[in-house]
Each structure stands twice: as structure tokens, then as C-alpha cells.
Amino acid sequence: MSKKLRDEVTRLLSQEQGTIRKSGEGRIRVALVYPNTYYIGMSNLGFHTVYHLLNQIPGCSCERVFLPDWESLEEFQRTNTSLFSLESQTPLNQFDILAFSLSFENDYPNVLTILDLAKIPLLRKERNERYPLIMGGGIAVTLNPESLSDFFDLFTLGESEELLPEFFALFQKFEKVSRETQLMELSQLEGVYVPSLYNIKYSEDGFVESTFVHSGAPSTVKRRWIKNLDDFPTCSRIFTPHTEFGDTFVVEVNRGCIWGCRFCAAGFAYRPYRKRERQTLSSLRMNSFHPDIILSLRESGHRTVALAPETGSERLRKVINKNLSDEQIFKAVEVLVEHRIPSLKLYFMVGLPTEQEKDIEAIIDLTKKIKHQVVKEGKGGKYLERITLSINSFVPKPHTPFQWAVLDDVNSLRDKLKRIKTGLKKEEKVTVTYDVPKWAYIQALLSRGDRRVGRILLALHTSGGDWSKAFKQVDVNPDFYVYRERTYDEVFPWDFIEQGTTKEYLYAEYQKAIKK
């Protein structure tokens, strides 16, 4: 093993508090993998929760693994070192299970990089019992795991607090049984999806035509959902300066959302809304703003508050079911100015269904009005440090009313973002930031893809991360998944998942939206 890599891990561990070290002898050894860097992974509260939960299960020991940064990645490749865990520096191929935490579709290519670094065959069909069981969970695959189904043995769909103890209680009973038998038995657990037990047939024009379910496997998979959050405390478990929340103790006070914004996958996947008994600050929704909240933020040293108008016009807010008026936005800003919060972050989206040119102009206009209000009420802008617009391109997601919608053309998105930036370039102390529209295209492809998209991911890996080259190497048209509006009766790749809302209800919401 490279001394440089070992020293880097030792340095990270020496700056942590709360690290769990358990002997793997006589236990099921699990490597919990976040397919991005240590900084990003350790900023994820769900990752903390699963790490703690797995280490509380009798007979189980869990260690963490992250995607190396570029410098470390080159060192792994130069020294031919197998990717290893943090806690004991054990190579990944020596674990019983690799459990991937998958929050974002754009991390999917990193899964293949990690498997390759671990010297584990990428494709499920090329692995046997001598390799670890590869499983995945998290919001991204709970919505639709199909783009990754060729690489994973199984997925856990939904919330893990009750599912994982059941999973490992069953897994511990397996002795000298085939992987095939293990997967069949695990598939009987509510929330477990085993792709090898489902064969997909496609029509000549590329649509999902039918699914053959192997005998003994469930015809649908119901995502897990826990009723009482108070049974499972969710908070920071490891403290490190190398994270977005290095000096903060993060606590989950509720799960889900009561507002029902039609674009929001999390708002539907975590339904119904639940809160813990001792609820404190949850979110800064502008129509429930209270001065006491802002005072608390100011006293705790917070200098920036993020608000999410999402759109510049009230009409388009009604389309996405965010019933928020301009008046309520200005009232929220008034409270912030009164308490001398010096920086604002405003979240907007472009490319939403029914969006018109005037809706883009409305983003510019609303931002100018907010700045004018801050300057007028805040002693000529004396306390204003910065207004930052964070603009995301709308990506239609599975299990939402907008799953039928089409992604706006990348060139169109680029033009809209340029128009906003140009329209605000003369405004002092106003900054416009946004993701490259190309990544919205990739996210739409991976989030709404079927199993054939896995061929694109494999080509991407072999081409060194070149998306253009990967698209040319396979006979799969990515535009089929991205630039095509769905019909009501189309069979989606993710229709086998029971999320708790019906397709009929979601379509009715979509129709309400596009008629606004």
C-alpha cells in the first residue's frame, strides 16, 4: 500500500471525533461507500445515520469508503493500490458487503470508478460468491434504480432505519448457500429490489413493453417508510473540520414536506410528512417566516439566509404548486433586513413546464426589487454584503407530477441563464451562479433511464469520462430519455416501485400544472 495514501487516511482520522472502530472478526463486514469525496460524503446526514445504524446491528461492523480526490486517485493508479476503507485500511474486495449511499444521479459514474479501483468486476453477471455483495440505497435509487441495475446485486428502496436490521438478521443466517439463493430470500423483505429477478422486454420503438418476474419474486416493490421518527434519532455522528458542517451539529427535525411542490422528488418520496415531537427550526419557507427564527439565526452567527422563490412570476409558482406571493417574499426580506442579516441567497429554476420568456424576465425583475428593498430599508444598503442567485435547470424526476415532462433544450437553458446574468450584471453586490446545463441533461438521462442506460455508463468508464465519446460508442439514444414528453399510458422503468402515491394522482396534478 502506498505510504502517501495511508498517511492521508491517518491524517483524516486523527481530526475526527466519533469514529467507530470494531473488530471484523466473526462479524459481517460492511464497507459503506459514498461515491464522491470525503468532504461531500461527510456533509451528508443520511450517510452519518446509516454508518451509525449499521454499527449498532449485532454481528455487523461498518467502515467508510469515499471516492479519492484527483491527486489520490492518481496515486492509487500509479501504485496499483486497491481502494481501501478508512477505519482499518482494508481493501474493499475483502468485505462481505459494499453498501453504496446514492443521493445524486451525477455520482453514478463514480460507482464504476470505485469498483474498478477495488479490483471488483463492474458487471453483476461477471461476479460470483467470492466477491462482496454489491447493494445500493438512497433517494436517487429509491426513485429509479434501473440505470445502475447491471452493476448492483440489489437495492434497498426507501427509508433504512427498520429495513437494515431486518436485512442483516436474515443475511447472518446464510451459510454455504449460493448468491442466487441469498438474493431470492432477501427479495422477500419489503423494500428490497433484486434486478436479476426481473427481465425487461422492450418494444421495437424502444419503450418498456413488459417485465418477466421470476417465480418467487414480488411483482412490485414497496418502498420502506417509518411512521415514528422519534424511534430513530437522526443527527451528526462524526465531527470533522473537512465538511460543509465542520463546526455544526446537524439534527433532523422532520422528514418529508407538507407543501407538495410538483417538481420536488423528495417531497413525494418521503410522503406523508412527519415531524419529531420536540421540533425546532425546520425550514425557512417564506409564508411561515417568524422574526424569532431570524433572531435566533443572527444570535448564532449566521450571516446568510437562503430563500427559495423558485420562479420570478406568481403564475409559474402556481404551476409548480408553490403558492407563494411576491408580497410574502418581500415581507420575508423585510424581516431579514430588520435583523441585519447581511447576505441573501435566492434559489430559482429555469426550464420549468409552461415557462415563457416573461417568466425569465420576472426573475431579473424580482431580484432587482429585492435588492431595492434591502437598500431602501437597510440604511442605503449599509448592511448588505451580497445577494447571490443560485439557479438550477429543472430536471423532471420519477414519481413526481412532472415525470411526464420534457427537459428543456440545453441550448435554450444556456440562453436563459445568460439572459439572467446579463440582466443583472450592472447590479452591484448581486452574483449569479448556476450549474452547466449539460449536467442537467446527464441528470435527466440517469434519473429517468432504463437498464440500457447502463451501457452508456460502462462506455463512459472505458472512455475515461468522455460523455460525447460514450454516446457514440453505444446504440442507445440518450435523447429518447431526455427530450421526449411522456404519454399518460407509457410504462415507466420505475413503475414497479410503490411510493405511496398513484400514477393517476400524479398525472392529474400534471394536468393541473400545465393548464395554469
pLDDT in tens, 255-267: 888 888 999 998 8
Q: Does 457 map to a domain?
A: no
Question: What is d(CA 430, CA 372) in angstroms, rounded to the nearest whole number?
Answer: 11
Q: What is the pLDDT of residue 288?
A: 55
Q: Are residues 428 and 508 in the same domain?
A: yes
Q: Does 388 map to a domain?
A: yes
Residues in the chain: 516
Please give the residue range of the domain that contains residue 272.
253-448+492-514
Instruction: Give the number of domains in the chain.
Output: 2
Q: Which residues of the chain are modeled with pLDDT < 70?
A: 24, 278-302, 379-381
Q: Are residues 217 and 257 in the same domain?
A: no
Task: Name the strand (E) or helix (H) holding 212.
Answer: strand 208-213
DSSP-derived letter for residue 136 is E
First to last CA, the chain: 61
Q: Are residues 203 and 329 in the same domain?
A: no
DSSP conformation letters of 175-200? -S--HHHHHHHHTTSTTEE-GGGEEE
Q: What is the pLDDT of residue 256?
A: 87
Q: Are residues 422 and 295 in the same domain?
A: yes
Q: Are residues 391 and 317 in the same domain?
A: yes
Taking alpha carbons only, the member of 278, 272, 240 closest to residue 255 is 272
**CA 309 and chain centroid, separation:** 21
Q: Does 32 map to a domain?
A: yes
- The pLDDT tens digits for 237-250 are 999 999 888 778 88
Q: Does 474 map to a domain?
A: no
Q: Are residues 396 and 339 in the same domain?
A: yes
- The answer to whether 309 touches 333, Cβ cutoff 8 Å, is no
Q: Are residues 128 and 64 in the same domain?
A: yes
Q: Does 230 map to a domain?
A: no
Q: What is the pLDDT of residue 259?
A: 85
Q: What is the pLDDT of residue 51?
A: 96
Query: pTM for this one?
Result: 0.92
CATH of the domain at 13: 3.40.50.2300
Q: Does 245 map to a domain?
A: no
Q: What is the pLDDT of residue 283?
A: 42
Find residue 349's DSSP bridge partners.
392
CATH of the domain at 444: 3.30.750.200
Q: Are residues 402 and 504 in the same domain?
A: yes
How many other C-beta atoms lie within 10 A of the C-beta of residue 411?
9
Q: Does 485 map to a domain?
A: no
Q: Are residues 178 and 294 in the same domain?
A: no
Q: What is the pLDDT of residue 147?
A: 98
Q: Are residues 288 and 397 in the same domain?
A: yes
Q: Are residues 179 and 293 in the same domain?
A: no
Q: What is the pLDDT of residue 342?
A: 85
Strand locations in 90-139 (E): 97-101, 133-137
Q: Are residues 152 and 262 in the same domain?
A: no
Q: Does 188 map to a domain?
A: yes
- Verify cis geometry, omega within 30 degrees of 0, for the bond prior to 272: yes
